[in-house]
Structure 1
Amino acid sequence: MNEREANITANAQNITEIANAIPIITNSTKASDKGNDGQEMGTVSTATVWVESDFFCATALTIENLVDKDADKRQAVALRVDGDKAVFYRVRLVGEQDTLLDNTGIHYFYRSYIQGSVDFICGNAKSLFHECVLDSVAEFWGAIAAHHRDSADEDTGFSFVNCTIKGSGSVFLGRAWGKYAATTYSFCDMDHVILPLGWSDWGDPSRQGTAMFGEYECSGKGSNRTERVEWSKALSSEEAMPFLSRDYIYGDGWLRL
């Protein structure tokens, strides 16, 4: 750990991180790192910042996990969020695999930057990513989103609206980490880094009939749906409507923007 590792606990309510106080929070995950049980640290244990409180807000802040590139396993979470009703505005999240563990709760990411390679936005939260930049640094292949919804009864999912996707490595838009994974992209500018198939069933064909992967009115070289997997959806305006605004995360009840 280079500068600071932070854990915002469930007992801390209504916290705002002030950018002038801690502009950069950096952690380094090495191949030799072990957890308290002596096991290798993976997705769950490597977070630079772990937020468990509700109503957390961060702005103009950079959170990094600079993973050892020589490691066989590159899970290195910059930010893990388990609290409910969190807002991240102009926040930079920098890492590789599993950069953002958007684990549980309802969250709003606005005009933020998220860099990674494999499944670099993952978890089972219900989150709106609005006007964000998603930057792939995958070396061979990767994926932006890996949603983990396991039941059709869960009210969770990732919605990306007016986001810019760019980078240097080829990535899927999403993978079905959970059987009922839910991920949509609307009005997003997709660079050439998007793999033509677009989506992955995580090696489990049964998830093709249960995952909800959709695209609506996207642009750029990566938005061409000619070779997309047939079980993904080109959403109609009516189908896309629930995903397009802060209503998706019930924003009228808790957001003051």
Structure 2
Amino acid sequence: MALKLLLLMVLFVNANSLSVPETLNGLLVPEEDYSKWLKHMGSFKHSLFQKAKNKFKPCLTIEVSKKPRSGAFPTVQKAINSLPVINNCRVVITIGAGTYREKVEIPATMAYITLQGAGADRTIIEWDDTADRMENGRPLGTFGSATFAVNSPYFIAKDITFKNKAPLPPSGALGKQAVALRISADTAAFISCKFIGAQDTLYDHIGRHYFKKCYIEGSVDFIFGNGLSLYEDCHLHAVTNSFGALTAQKRQSFLEETGFSFVSCKVTGSGALFLGRAWGNFSRVVFAYTFMDKIITPRGWYDWGDKSRQMTVFFGQYKCSGPGADFGRRVAWSRELTDQQAKPFISIGFIDGHEWLLNS
């Protein structure tokens, strides 16, 4: 049994098609067994995540405003700090129009927070930290550079721009990672938001996340991390005059149930863009029904300079369109997905969304 599982694992990361039985070192692995295993791994029914139980009915609504008024907080962080250290009910924080220049962090114990902006072009939260900026004698690092950091579960943000104003770094510059938003918690949803930055814009760190009708702008690895995340109807825009990369997914183990799926999105911008770089040995990224402009490099994907990762990553596309979507010149270790292979990645079931996304 263990040998059979090992054979199936290797075939999963190497097979380009399910049309014929696969062999490994002369041993035949039946196509039916491989298909069953693929379905099992793609279904996420064996998820290590706990069953999610969201709360949607607000118990409290508070306001943040640039215009002084009774009962309104002048900054987002002050509004968050006003909540109980352990928050167990849905709190809605409405944020009025304006640019809020502040660095914000939500602690892990403050669950069920909703931020409602006045529109992504009207409500903007911005800062300009970079990874090499010193604080208390030590560099912040990529993790600490985030303008907005979420460490609590069941977070929702709507109609807000999260921005890191650090300038676009020159090619090869070190320590210039500048995160606009870091999400380091399970079950978060972002609806009609914008994430603006250059290198490492959106740190999709850990947990299940849903991005709907969002705009994400950057240059290198501008969506990165080890989340299990679905991006639906999003606009991904590159701002670089040289080579860049859209994703850097950090799945490190065959057993980790993480990955990024982009469904019905569009990719535009400048420069020459890889769809993804294999930050993790088992990096997993899928693009489905996505328009890709001519900026996508014909090879599509990069192995992070480690050829061994070509054997273990899962990089795929399914029914994509546009001048950058031609699969003919893609690296041999990526794949054009079949209907069966794509199915687990193209609905909210990919992130167990039926458990926690209702009414969000």
Distance, in Å, in 1 between the alignment partners of 2:139 and 2:222 is 19
Partner amino acid, structure 2, of 1:153: L
Q: Does 84-93 or 15-24 show the bigger shift?
A: 15-24
The answer as to whether partners of 2:115 and 2:158 remain within 8 angstroms in 1 is yes
Max Rg structure: 2
Structure holding more helix per residue: 2
Distance, in Å, in 1 between the alignment partners of 2:319 and 2:184 is 31
For residue 179 of structure 1, give the secondary structure of its aligned residue in structure 2.
coil
Distance, in Å, in 2 between the alignment partners of 1:88 and 1:109 is 5
Indicate which of 115, 139, 143 corresponds to 1:17.
Answer: 115
Partner amino acid, structure 2, of 1:67: A
The answer as to whether partners of 2:129 and 2:147 remain within 8 angstroms in 1 is no
Structure 1 vs Structure 2 CA RMSD? 1.8
Q: Does 172-181 or 71-80 show the bigger shift?
A: 71-80
Task: Report what 1:35 is aligned to.
Answer: 135
The answer as to whether partners of 2:292 and 2:322 remain within 8 angstroms in 1 is yes
Distance, in Å, in 1 between the alignment partners of 2:334 and 2:147 is 34
For 1:151-181, what per-residue CA distance to the aligned partner results, in whole angstroms no more than 9, with x for missing partners? 0000100000000100012110001000000
Change (3 A) 1:30 1:156: closer
Task: Report what 1:116 is aligned to.
Answer: 218
Q: Unaligned regions of 5+ residues in structure 1, if any? A: none
Q: Does 221-230 or 22-31 show the bigger shift?
A: 22-31
Indicate which of 87, 101, 114 corresponds to 1:3.
Answer: 101
1:13-162 matches, cutoff 5 A: 13-20=111-118, 23-29=123-129, 33-36=133-136, 38-69=137-168, 72-73=173-174, 74-162=176-264
Give aligned pairs, total: 256
The answer as to whether partners of 1:138 and 1:169 remain within 8 angstroms in 2 is yes
Change (3 A) 1:32 1:198: closer
Change (3 A) 1:43 1:31: closer
The answer as to whether partners of 2:211 and 2:231 remain within 8 angstroms in 1 is yes
Task: Report what 2:301 is aligned to.
Answer: 199
Distance, in Å, in 2 between the alignment partners of 1:243 and 1:82 is 22
Shift of residue 29 of structure 1? 2.7
Partner amino acid, structure 1, of 2:274: F
Partner amino acid, structure 1, of 2:206: T
Q: Does 136-145 or 182-191 show the bigger shift?
A: 136-145
Partner amino acid, structure 2, of 1:65: N
For 1:11-62, what per-residue CA distance to the aligned partner results, in whole angstroms no more than 9, with x for missing partners? 11100112049811011136872133x2333321100000001000000000
Partner amino acid, structure 1, of 2:333: W
Shift of residue 5 of structure 1? 1.0
Q: Unaligned regions of 5+ residues in structure 2, if any? A: 1-98
Distance, in Å, in 2 between the alignment partners of 1:170 and 1:92 is 22
Shift of residue 66 of structure 1? 1.2
For residue 149 of structure 2, give the secondary structure of its aligned residue in structure 1.
strand
TM-score where L is the length of structure 2: 0.69
Distance, in Å, in 2 between the alignment partners of 1:169 and 1:250 is 35
